[in-house]
Structure 1
Amino acid sequence: MRNRLGLIALVLWLVTAVGLGVLFVHGRTEKAPDGRTAILMSAAERDFVFTEMRGLLVAVRDITAALAEGDTVKVAAAAKAMGMGEAHDRAPALLAKLPLDFKRLAMTLHGGFDEMAEAAAKGETPAQLNTRLIAQLDRCTVCHAGFRIDVAQ
């Protein structure tokens, strides 16, 4: 009897681990009619993600303005605000709903802002920083071309 309970516990543990692994990789998604991957979440979670995206857009605007002025101190401040330290741990439950490719893009994007802030602080020229900003915008474009966020029904 004891061996049977142990075996049942092991099987349940394995099923749970596999299920969580699949959720971590695929998130809560479905194929959207437009060919992109639809990430399914609650309306509140969608609002949270869209608020963060608007914050990214504001940072890009601020960085662009600072580059036009040649002010790399402002570039560093705006970029740092969107870096890894500022962007995470605000919605840990949401991470489970995001597919791995989306998570990778987000991590690369926020890490790229950290790199831009460091480069600005170390004296990269506005032209070099603009090249970094273009790479950041390329990440935004890839993400928006491949994903959309839908409210789960």
Structure 2
Amino acid sequence: MNKLLAVTFSTLLISTGSYADSREAIVMSEQHRDLLLTEMRDLLTSSQQVLEGVVNEDMAQVEKSARRMGLNAGGGVPKEVGRLLPKGFKSLGPQVHQGFEQIADEADGFGDSNKILKILAKTQQNCVTCHDLYRFEVKK
């Protein structure tokens, strides 16, 4: 058993040591990175609140949580940050905010839980795509 654990641990060390992150690096200041990461955490929080609202059949919560990250969310990304972002990255953000807007509209209208979950799944696929393709790197 100890030998098996030692071999498994050694394999893990070797495999993690040779991992190369092949995602495109987006180089920016720490302040700009933190701004974008805060927005991403807000999106994740809203996603969780939408799910919780659906489970609890609370369409008011779904609408409020989704609208917060809809088309009028925040003030957008500052121009100086936007110039640093690749075209592909910039194309995903509006799709995410549009998805949250659709969720809010559905919750405010018919409140079809299944439709809301489908929209959320499609919206979150943009998040998965973004995280698969890009990473932030702080400018040194």
TM-score (norm 2): 0.81
Quote the Cα distance in structure 2 between the aligned partners of 1:121 and 1:144.
30
What are the Cα deviations for residues 113-140 of structure 1, in whole angstroms up to 9, with x where unaligned? 1111112111131111111111111111
The equivalences for 1:40-119 within 5 A come to: 40-89=27-76, 91-119=78-106
Unaligned 5+ segments in structure 2 are 1-19
What are the Cα deviations for residues 54-113 of structure 1, in whole angstroms up to 9, with x where unaligned? 111110111110010111221111011011211443522211111111010011111111
Quote the Cα distance in structure 1 between the aligned partners of 2:74 and 2:126.
16
Seq. identity, %: 29
Is the 1:72–1:123 Cα contact (8 Å) retained in structure 2? no
**CA RMSD, Structure 1 to Structure 2 (Å):** 1.3
Quote the Cα distance in structure 1 between the aligned partners of 2:52 and 2:76.
29
Quote the Cα distance in structure 1 between the aligned partners of 2:84 and 2:77.
14
SS of match in other structure, 1:86? coil
What are the Cα deviations for residues 29-65 of structure 1, in whole angstroms up to 9, with x where unaligned? xxxx522111111000011111111111110111110
TM-score (norm 1): 0.74
Extract structure 1 runs of 4+ deviating beyond 3 A.
Answer: 87-90
